[in-house]
Chains A and B, each alone.
Chain A
């Protein structure tokens, strides 16, 4: 069955848990999206910008030295790090900004954690000449000053959020409050497969270009589908984007969450591995919370995985056994960051460094004729300072 269902549910997950003020806007967004999804002119425009502007298709690269290092399965990397702005985020922001334009919206807002989605939204907004404001937790503004400046250069206004834990979850709350207030003129570009319906479906659809290309490329290179696909999961957009076209195949799908300082420390971002069912940012999914439903702050060395919830479709995939989920600590991710840099000359973002780290458990136990594809969802330039600090090196 095609999911989500008509009411926006993936099994019991998903839905629309938002203030009444937004219900009509969500219905309009859903209607517009369903219309343009089938509209050839819209799809042609989207394909054009993905190719000519974002740099698609991205390569599927055989990582020969990394494969040798682990001495097991063949490892391919889907190079989303080569997209314009340095991560897969642009696939979604171009799609949503094109949609917002067709809906006649004159203002764009977004939330951002580390700043990658904020930069990707500011980029798309700049290209189409639409005013853009980005909500960012005060704590993240401090930690990611370079990305704040990048957004400003792109003409966006960055609004620091000082409520709650002053991080991504609070930036989303504040963006929703803005949307509640300015819903008639404004489109809210959510950066992951989270939020109320239709966002988890719409963002997934914009990101499945990753999986569709991967399928074509691996068939061309190997003449068969891979045995495993591995991707990191924060909100879960890069992972759902590469998983989705492989859902009804024999390919094993593995999501890797942030174990932070360790799953038993409560200082992590592993909603699927350690969370319980709850409602956050408009949908029912697995969340990190206490026994009275108060949301607990997440932790990860990677700002993109530092989120106490996860997209509802991942909760569904986990529950149905259609994908499995594991977690990698800050320390393991750091080690993988260095490993990929040294063996392949690629600095991965700290988010996909979690997926690379998982290879250590997976690849050596497989035979040489098995194939793993890792979604390298972003490049690591943005993380160089964080990595230096974690390694105790002054730059």
Chain B
């Protein structure tokens, strides 16, 4: 069982949902993102770390902008891996990487799996890699004990739910709505129906992301799923803060509210 799976098993025992905060490495700066992640690792059950990419086509305006800023600081794969290596010395919270397939393909699938495993990453999410194209990546990841986390969407058919579920290790990333990442006012009304369609076909842990923006959302999500992923809303808080201390205070304050909503 991977560390991510262990984490979900333990939380199921405790009867609460997993909190998975997302932070873009290099935003607002590499140093700040490292310290924000370090602070979040005390509260989050799994931390999702974004490697900035030039063409993030599954992301809305907030994460797009964060990518542009991070890239303008020259932050690419090697700098992110170094940062994770540093963080691994101070926390044992599982890390998953989120980036686009070309960043991994160009690095070399085996080289990438080996490099991320070497710095203590537990899983990788690739939003533009469906299981149909993922055989080479899955063997590279498996050889290095990296969990392969694929996504499901409200538009996924029963056939696809089976295919994606069987390719997933760690957890299944359920996209809450038909759209891109970004904070939203309300949850999609069809979300419970979508999640129950998935539930009947797999017993793997389900984490819901895209648009989750408040403790109220998290409370709703915890009723039907095993975890919540929160990204753009955290970046929004980072943007509101005037300095790094305030960024950390706002972000950790927010995730504590979310944790309370998840039943801790």
Residues of A within 8 A of B (CB): 7, 15-25, 163-164, 169-170, 173, 176-177, 180-184, 276-282, 284, 287, 289-295
User: B155: which A residues are within 8 A, CB to CB?
Assistant: 20-25, 183-184
User: B76: which A residues are within 8 A, CB to CB?
Assistant: 290, 292, 294
Residues of B within 8 A of A (CB): 53-58, 60-61, 64, 68, 71, 76-78, 100-107, 127-130, 132-133, 150-157, 160, 164, 175, 178-180
CA distance A19 to B131 in the complex (A): 11
User: A276: which B residues are within 8 A, CB to CB?
Assistant: 106
Given A177-B60, A293-B105: A19 and B53 interface contact (C-beta under 8 Å): no
User: B105: which A residues are within 8 A, CB to CB?
Assistant: 277-279, 284, 293
Q: Are A294 and B54 in contact (CB under 8 A)?
A: yes
Set B77, B78, B160, B179: member contacting A180, Cβ < 8 A: B179
Q: Are A278 and B178 in contact (CB under 8 A)?
A: no
Q: Are A180 and B58 in contact (CB under 8 A)?
A: yes
Q: Are A23 and B130 in contact (CB under 8 A)?
A: yes
Question: What residue of chain B has the Cβ atom nearest to residue A289's Cβ?
Answer: B106
Set B100, B104, B175: member contacting A20, Cβ < 8 A: B175
Q: Are A15 and B128 in contact (CB under 8 A)?
A: no
Q: Are A21 and B103 in contact (CB under 8 A)?
A: no
Q: Are A15 and B133 in contact (CB under 8 A)?
A: yes
Count A/B pairs, Cβ under 8 Å: 123
Leading 5 A-B pairs by shortest Cβ distance: A293-B106, A21-B153, A181-B179, A293-B103, A293-B102
Q: Are B133 and A177 in contact (CB under 8 A)?
A: no
Q: Are B178 and A181 in contact (CB under 8 A)?
A: yes
Q: Are B55 and A20 in contact (CB under 8 A)?
A: no
Given A7-B132, A20-B150: A292 and B180 interface contact (C-beta under 8 Å): no
CB A307 to nearest CB in B, in angstroms, measures 12
Q: Are A295 and B57 in contact (CB under 8 A)?
A: no
Q: Are A184 and B178 in contact (CB under 8 A)?
A: yes
Q: Are B178 and A183 in contact (CB under 8 A)?
A: yes
CB B115 to nearest CB in A, in angstroms, measures 12
| Apart from A18-B130, A23-B160, A183-B178: 10 A-B pairs, beta carbons within 8 A | A17-B130, A19-B57, A20-B130, A21-B155, A181-B180, A278-B102, A279-B105, A293-B102, A293-B104, A295-B55
CB A221 to nearest CB in B, in angstroms, measures 45
Set A7, A17, A180, A295: member contacting B180, Cβ < 8 A: A180
Set A18, A21, A164: member contacting B55, Cβ < 8 A: A164
CA distance A163 to B157 in the complex (A): 32
Q: Are A295 and B54 in contact (CB under 8 A)?
A: yes
CB B127 to nearest CB in A, in angstroms, measures 5
Q: Are B54 and A20 in contact (CB under 8 A)?
A: no
Question: What residue of chain B has the Cβ atom nearest to residue A177's Cβ?
Answer: B180
Question: What residue of chain B has the Cβ atom nearest to residue A279's Cβ?
Answer: B102
Set B57, B104, B157: member contacting A176, Cβ < 8 A: B57
Given A15-B133, A20-B150, A20-B151: A294 and B179 interface contact (C-beta under 8 Å): no
User: A281: which B residues are within 8 A, CB to CB?
Assistant: 55, 57
CA distance A279 to B55 in the complex (A): 11
User: B106: which A residues are within 8 A, CB to CB?
Assistant: 276, 278, 289, 291-293
CB B74 to nearest CB in A, in angstroms, measures 11
Given A278-B102, A292-B107, A293-B107: A20 and B57 interface contact (C-beta under 8 Å): no
Q: Are B160 and A279 in contact (CB under 8 A)?
A: no
Set A164, A177, A181: member contacting B68, Cβ < 8 A: A164
CB B173 to nearest CB in A, in angstroms, measures 9
Q: Are A20 and B102 in contact (CB under 8 A)?
A: no
CA distance A241 to B57 in the complex (A): 28
CA distance A362 to B69 in the complex (A): 46
Q: Are A20 and B164 in contact (CB under 8 A)?
A: yes
Q: Are A17 and B54 in contact (CB under 8 A)?
A: no
CB B9 to nearest CB in A, in angstroms, measures 25
CB A151 to nearest CB in B, in angstroms, measures 23
Q: Are B101 and A292 in contact (CB under 8 A)?
A: no
Q: Are B127 and A19 in contact (CB under 8 A)?
A: yes
Q: Are B132 and A289 in contact (CB under 8 A)?
A: no
Question: What residue of chain A has the Cβ atom nearest to residue B76's Cβ?
Answer: A292
Set A17, A177, A294: member contacting B101, Cβ < 8 A: A17
CA distance A277 to B164 in the complex (A): 26
CB A285 to nearest CB in B, in angstroms, measures 11
User: B164: which A residues are within 8 A, CB to CB?
Assistant: 20
User: B133: which A residues are within 8 A, CB to CB?
Assistant: 15-17
Q: Are B153 and A20 in contact (CB under 8 A)?
A: yes
User: B104: which A residues are within 8 A, CB to CB?
Assistant: 293
CB B135 to nearest CB in A, in angstroms, measures 11
Q: Are A24 and B54 in contact (CB under 8 A)?
A: no
User: A164: which B residues are within 8 A, CB to CB?
Assistant: 54-55, 64, 68
User: B127: which A residues are within 8 A, CB to CB?
Assistant: 19-20
CA distance A24 to B154 in the complex (A): 10
CB A23 to nearest CB in B, in angstroms, measures 5
Question: What residue of chain A has the Cβ atom nearest to residue B53's Cβ?
Answer: A294
Q: Are A289 and B152 in contact (CB under 8 A)?
A: no
Q: List 16 A-B contacts (CB under 8 A).
A: A15-B132, A19-B57, A20-B152, A20-B160, A21-B155, A21-B178, A23-B160, A24-B157, A164-B55, A180-B180, A278-B105, A279-B101, A280-B102, A291-B106, A293-B53, A294-B54
Give the interface centre of B76, B100, B128, B180 by most chain A CB atoms within 10 Å: B128
